[in-house]
């Protein structure tokens, strides 16, 4: 079994725009423990009070699967370990494991530490030995190992031997600058194994987009520990992405990395960490991105309807993800048939799917985009069903924006709609014309459809499609609506932003009253 060593809480937080509170770190650590990683690196206790508090709280927490590790460096070049503040901070963290980073490259010894090669070996061996003598298990991170090996193979090996003499349990080869290629990593790990008997690990950065490939190459050559972060978060271009490495190990190499049954929780964990880090999830990540198993091309979807293996390398459910069929101007009939089946829409014949497909293509040529507006696609189907009656029909609407002395800018909208056999005419003020239309429409419908009270417009996006046309450009509007349980997205487009917004707004209410809260018209 490969040991998964997660360093999201330390190396991951070195990514630009990430800052985690102690509560954030504890919550992520609990989820990592639930997933079943072998090690959780909590931070560098000698660097800041936040990490000190994390280790204090971690010491009082019962961990079911993971070992908590504190990270720090070897002692200063002019000190003994027992008088070094960094070593003392590692001991004070009271973690069962300490991960110690030391210099491997002759460049860093001479130009960064500015000490002798012999003294560097001393501080590596003595720092590790000091921690081991105090009952800590030590993982040694050989910083810049691959670059160091290329400069001076013999000396880089000597640094590993020094850590092993000090009692390090695992020697981790760090590809710190992220510039080595997979074949270089494989060759160097293979050479190290002929000279070092201690267990080896790999810690790769992604500056040349090879961190995952380098990690896999190292495992193939015998490394038993892989260090990385959730979603590949990390300094510069990031660290090796555990959300790719873990399924690669289990599904491609047949090597266990997590306890049985935990792989299916990877998708949820990826999105949870993104949410806690206050970052938009990268939905194009392998395995865990929502687009990882999304199919858009008509030929692809037609083949997928015959065999799910035709355009998928694994079953998405294995990592907790799901297949998605995207509807767009590139779609074929199969995309529409799949979407209808997904929503339980029974078609009298396939001609209905072709009719909707042609409508989609025509509307997308006018500026609409249905990829992120599935509710609008479903309404195209619903409006073709025999006996379909819309919840309401528009007769008239108007929206005005005025400036009045003493009041400033305000908006007012009026809406006249037919609900069943009744005509309802309402008006409302809002903070903008779209908001005023939304409020006026709600006022017109709420007595007939009380469920509307739970509908909340949660997002509103506007995109100018042909900016060269200036203020006469076509505008696309995407509206996201929620009711506390479900979320749906609708789209509208046109040269008039109010009309485009109205289209998306009507689709939102129609979908909510037809699919989410279906009820008879006018009741």
Distance CA 381, CA 352 (A): 8
Domain chopping of the chain, boundaries: 3-276, 294-365, 393-516
Distance CA 346, CA 6 (A): 47
* pLDDT for 101 beyond 80: yes
The reported pLDDT for the residue numbered 44 is 93
Residue 73: alpha-carbon gap to chain centroid = 30
Reported as a single tens digit per residue, the pLDDT across 228-246 is: 999 999 999 999 999 999 9
Q: Give Cβ neighbours of residue 172 (< 8 Å, ≥ 6 apart).
A: 5, 99, 139, 140, 141, 142, 200, 201, 202, 203, 225, 227
The reported pLDDT for the residue numbered 183 is 98
* pLDDT for 67 beyond 80: yes
Rounded alpha-carbon distances, angstroms, from residue 428 to 441, 482, 499: 9, 22, 17
Reported as a single tens digit per residue, the pLDDT across 216-225 is: 999 999 999 9
pLDDT-derived band at 321, boundaries 50, 70, 90: confident
The reported pLDDT for the residue numbered 335 is 63
Distance CA 333, CA 356 (A): 9
Which of helix, strand or coil describes residue 495? coil
Question: According to the per-residue pLDDT averaged within each range, which of 444-448, 488-492, 514-518 is highest?
Answer: 444-448
Which of helix, strand or coil describes residue 100? strand
DSSP bridge pairs for 430: 411
Distance CA 195, CA 456 (A): 65
Class of domain 393-516: alpha beta
In whole angstroms, how large is the CA radius of gyration of the chain?
30
Helices (H), 68-201: 85-92, 106-108, 117-133, 145-151, 153-166, 182-193
Reported as a single tens digit per residue, the pLDDT across 454-509 is: 998 888 888 776 656 665 667 788 889 998 788 888 888 878 888 888 888 988 89
Reported as a single tens digit per residue, the pLDDT across 371-398 is: 667 888 777 777 777 777 888 888 998 8
The reported pLDDT for the residue numbered 56 is 95
Kindly state the tokens that stand for 11: 């190396």
Rounded alpha-carbon distances, angstroms, from residue 261 to 90, 220, 224, 265, 439: 34, 24, 21, 8, 48
The reported pLDDT for the residue numbered 368 is 55
* pLDDT for 297 beyond 60: no
DSSP state of 359: H
* pLDDT for 51 beyond 50: yes
Distance CA 497, CA 219 (A): 55
Residue with tokens 């009380």: 450
Average pLDDT over residues 195-224: 98
pLDDT-derived band at 329, boundaries 50, 70, 90: very low
Average pLDDT over residues 275-286: 90
Q: Which of 299-313, 329-343, 418-432 shows the lowest per-residue confidence on average (mean pLDDT)? A: 329-343
- Report the 10 Å Cβ neighbour count for 339: 24
pTM metric for this prediction: 0.75
The reported pLDDT for the residue numbered 192 is 98
Reported as a single tens digit per residue, the pLDDT across 332-378 is: 555 656 655 665 666 666 666 666 667 666 665 655 566 667 888 77
* pLDDT for 519 beyond 80: no
Distance CA 142, CA 129 (A): 16
- Burial tier of 518 (Cβ tally within 10 Å: 0-12, 13-18, 19+): exposed
Q: What CATH code is assigned to 3-276? A: 3.20.20.70
Does residue 502 or residue 6 have the better pLDDT? 6
């Amino acid at each position: 079994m490969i040991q998964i060593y997660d360093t999201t809480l330390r190396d991951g937080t070195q990514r630009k725009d990430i800052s985690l509170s102690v509560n954030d770190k504890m919550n992520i650590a609990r989820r990592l423990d639930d997933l079943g990683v072998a090690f959780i690196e909590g931070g560098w206790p000698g660097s800041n009070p936040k990490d000190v508090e994390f280790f204090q709280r971690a010491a009082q927490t019962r961990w079911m699967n993971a070992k908590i590790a504190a990270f720090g460096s070897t002692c200063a070049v002019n000190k003994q370990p027992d008088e070094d503040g960094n070593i003392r901070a590692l001991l004070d963290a009271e973690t069962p494991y300490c991960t110690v980073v030391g210099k491997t490259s002759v460049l860093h010894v001479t130009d960064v530490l500015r000490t002798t090669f012999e003294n560097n070996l001393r501080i590596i061996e003595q720092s590790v030995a000091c921690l081991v003598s105090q009952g800590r298990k030590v993982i040694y991170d050989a910083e810049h190992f691959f670059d160091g090996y290329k400069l001076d193979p013999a000396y880089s090996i000597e640094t590993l031997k020094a850590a092993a003499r000090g009692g390090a349990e695992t020697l981790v080869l760090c590809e710190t600058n992220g510039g080595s290629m997979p074949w270089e990593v494989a060759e160097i790990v293979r050479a190290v194994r002929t000279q070092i008997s201690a267990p080896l690990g790999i810690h790769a950065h992604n500056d040349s987009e090879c961190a995952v490939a380098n990690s896999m190459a190292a495992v193939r050559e015998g490394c038993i520990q892989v260090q990385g972060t959730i979603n590949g978060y990390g300094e510069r271009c990031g660290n090796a992405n555990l959300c790719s490495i873990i399924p690669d190990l289990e599904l491609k190499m047949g090597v266990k990395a997590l306890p049985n049954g935990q792989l299916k929780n990877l998708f949820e964990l990826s999105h949870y960490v993104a949410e806690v880090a206050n970052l938009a999830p990268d939905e194009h990540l392998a395995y865990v991105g929502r687009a990882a198993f999304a199919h858009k091309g008509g030929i692809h979807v037609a083949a997928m309807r015959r065999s799910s293996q035709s355009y998928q390398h694994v079953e998405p459910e294995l990592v907790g993800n799901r297949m998605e069929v995207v509807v767009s101007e590139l779609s074929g009939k199969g995309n529409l048939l799949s979407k209808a089946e997904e929503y339980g829409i029974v078609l009298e014949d396939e001609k209905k799917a072709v009719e909707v497909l042609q409508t989609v293509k025509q509307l997308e040529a006018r500026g609409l985009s249905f990829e992120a507006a599935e509710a609008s696609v479903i309404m195209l189907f619903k409006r073709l069903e025999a006996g379909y009656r819309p919840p309401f029909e528009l007769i008239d609407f108007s929206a005005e924006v005025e400036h009045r002395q003493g009041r400033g800018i305000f908006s007012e909208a009026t809406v006249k709609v037919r609900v069943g056999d009744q005509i309802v005419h309402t008006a409302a003020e809002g903070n903008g014309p779209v908001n005023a239309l939304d409020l006026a429409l709600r006022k017109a419908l709420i007595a007939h459809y009380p469920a509307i009270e739970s509908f909340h417009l949660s997002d509103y996006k506007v995109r100018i499609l042909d900016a060269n046309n200036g203020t006469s450009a076509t505008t696309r509007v995407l509206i996201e609506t929620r009711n506390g349980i479900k979320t749906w997205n609708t789209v509208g487009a046109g040269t008039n932003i109010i009309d485009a917004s109205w289209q998306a707004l009507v689709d939102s209410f129609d979908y909510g009253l037809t699919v989410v809260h279906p009820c008879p018209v006018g009741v």
